[in-house]
């Protein structure tokens, strides 16, 4: 992917920026923040090219590393992170460019000669990239290697080897972009796949939604089909609900859903920056909610304060969103899983205290792991014998109900609706207090 309308210097600046952004991700920056940095970058560079190679190099980092090992005398993972980054970005670029491959390889080597620590690796980079030029995408190792070993192991334990391989293969694809139209708003993309009168899937995932009709006037939000299910299914279980609290609410997609259904909503999040983003999204849509900056576990509650709907979209490994957030392949580690499971447990115990009589508690995680989904829901019911699971009615567009219903909740895996581009992975559980 190159653009002849940009000068050689501008393309060089783009390569430099991609290295800087990947370094930020390695050091813990959220992908959404990095993408925003790119959007606000004020220099004239091919931003789509930067995003293309950045996302692609992360998605295929395991395959590229194994391929590079064929051409290196020392293991790829023993190199410093800055050396790894330029090898990954350059290799992905070479394998996916429409320009002459040798010229792309040469450009990356020239860029390396002007960057601090990378100067010493220029000769090695030149030698290896000449060999990469002879490679093809079809010759890359099995895509399962893009998943860290610990992640593969857990997916196999939960869903089996064939399902793990199918999920790994899906990582190579750019995920579709879904829009949720606000009630009464028109479809801004006439060639989109219409799921319902409010849910559409864009035919071209590269479209900048800010350019679509209705964005500035709050006509829609971007929300994966799976991410909208927890609220849609939950409200169908409590059609007379009037009040809701959205815990861990930012950046606000589910808060907006609740408001669009006409509920009075309190949105809680601990992260000031993300809460500000939520408030900005509400302003764009012309909506209003009570917002509270607080840790859910420290949330103060008036003695008479309770809610018809309590939504806990809990912190999790987010493994169900890897297609859209390939930074997780770099940032997430198995050691974080048990800590997250314990946080989810404590948050569920706190969330149920906020529920009004006859209310519905919605627990949602965008995780592929049963530890964070089915097992967490089962554990909650064991600790709270006064609660029971309530099975929602699934919409027709979801297709095969047997593939997604469980005894503890609703499970969506990424290959569901594969013929239409798949979905994010999600688990959602619905709980009510038993009638006495």
Q: For residue 362, what are the β-bridge partners?
A: 311, 430
Please give the Cα distance from 187 to 194 (Å, whole number).
9
The whole-angstrom separation of Cα 80 and Cα 76 is 9
Residue with tokens 């071209």: 204
3-state secondary structure 330-354: HHCCCHHHHHHHHHHHHHHHHHHHH
Q: Identify which of 264, 189, 275, 182 has the alpha carbon closest to the alpha carbon of residue 223.
A: 182
Structure tokens at 310: 């309590």
Question: pLDDT (tens digit, 9 = 90+) per residue, 99-109?
Answer: 999 999 999 99
Cα 245 from Cα 297, distance rounded (Å): 14
Spacing of C-alpha 86 from chain mean position: 24
Are 186 and 214 a contacting pair, CB within 8 Å?
A: yes
Q: How many helices (H) and strands (E) does the chain have?
A: 15, 12
The reported pLDDT for the residue numbered 2 is 52
Taken in order of first residue, the domains within the chain and their CATH numbers are 8-141 (1.10.940.10), 224-433 (3.40.50.150)
Give the residue among 176, 162, 142, 146 at the shortest CA–CA distance from 418: 176
Burial class (CB within 10 angstroms; exposed 0-12, middle 13-18, buried 19+) of 226: buried
| 3-class state of residue 80 by DSSP | coil
Question: Residue 338: its pLDDT value, please?
Answer: 95
Please say whether the beta carbons of 362 and 234 come within 8 A. Answer: yes
Q: What confidence tens digit (pLDDT) does each residue in 312-321 have?
A: 999 999 999 9
- The predicted-structure confidence for 230-257, as pLDDT tens digits, reads as follows 999 999 999 999 999 999 999 999 999 9
Nearest to 366 by CA among 258, 256, 223: 223
pLDDT of 105: 97
Residue with tokens 């799921």: 195
Q: Is 186 exposed, middle or buried (0-12, 13-18, 19+ CB in 10 A)?
A: exposed
Q: According to the model, what pLDDT value does residue 312 have?
A: 98
Cα gap 21→408, rounded to integer Å: 40
Spatial CA neighbour of 128 closest among 188, 191, 73: 73
Q: Quick check: 367 and 425 in contact, CB under 8 A?
A: yes
Look at residue 361 in the predicted model and tell me its pLDDT.
98
Contacts of 304 (CB under 8 A, 6+ apart): none
Residues of the chain with pLDDT below 50 are: none
Please indicate, yes or no, whether the overall pTM of this predicted structure exceeds 0.85.
yes
């Amino acid at each position: 992917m190159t653009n002849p309308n940009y000068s050689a210097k501008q393309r060089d600046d783009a390569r430099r920026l991609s290295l800087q952004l990947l370094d930020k991700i390695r050091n813990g920056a959220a992908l959404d923040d990095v993408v925003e940095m790119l959007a606000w970058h004020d220099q004239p560079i091919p931003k789509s090219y930067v995003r293309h190679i950045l996302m692609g190099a992360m998605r295929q980092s395991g395959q590229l590393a194994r391929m590079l090992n064929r051409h290196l005398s020392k293991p790829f993972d023993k190199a410093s992170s800055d050396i790894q980054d330029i090898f990954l970005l350059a290799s992905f670029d070479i394998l996916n460019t429409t320009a002459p491959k040798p010229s792309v390889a040469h450009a990356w080597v020239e860029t390396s000669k002007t960057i601090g620590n990378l100067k010493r690796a220029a000769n090695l980079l030149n030698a290896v990239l000449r060999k990469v030029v002879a490679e093809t995408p079809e010759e890359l190792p099995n895509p399962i290697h893009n998943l860290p070993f610990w992640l593969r192991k857990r997916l196999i334990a939960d869903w089996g080897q064939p399902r793990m391989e199918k999920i790994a293969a899906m990582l190579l694809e750019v995920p579709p972009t879904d829009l949720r139209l606000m009630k009464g708003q028109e479809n801004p993309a006439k060639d989109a796949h219409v799921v319902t009168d409010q849910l559409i899937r864009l035919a071209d995932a590269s479209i900048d939604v800010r350019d679509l009709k209705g964005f500035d006037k709050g006509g829609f939000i971007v929300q994966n089909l799976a991410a909208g299910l927890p609220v849609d299914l939950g409200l169908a279980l409590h059609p007379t609900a009037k009040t809701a609290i959205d815990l861990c609410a930012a950046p606000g997609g589910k808060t907006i859903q609740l408001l669009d259904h006409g509920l009075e909503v309190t949105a809680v999040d601990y992260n000031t920056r993300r809460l500000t983003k939520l408030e900005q999204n509400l302003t764009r849509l012309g909506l209003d909610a009570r917002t509270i900056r607080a840790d859910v576990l420290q949330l103060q509650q008036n003695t008479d304060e309770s809610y018809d709907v309590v939504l806990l979209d809990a912190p999790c490994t987010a493994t169900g969103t890897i297609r859209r957030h390939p930074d997780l392949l770099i940032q997430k580690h198995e050691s974080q899983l048990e800590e997250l499971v314990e946080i989810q447990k404590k948050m569920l115990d706190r969330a149920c205290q906020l529920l009004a009589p006859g209310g519905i508690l919605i627990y949602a995680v965008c995780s592929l792991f049963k530890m964070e989904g089915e097992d967490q829901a089962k554990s909650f019911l064991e600790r709270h014998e006064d609660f029971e699971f309530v099975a929602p009615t699934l919409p027709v567009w979801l297709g095969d109900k047997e593939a997604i219903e469980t005894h503890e909740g609703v499970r969506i895996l990424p290959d569901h609706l594969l013929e239409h581009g798949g979905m994010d992975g999600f688990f959602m559980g619905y709980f009510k207090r038993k009638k006495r």
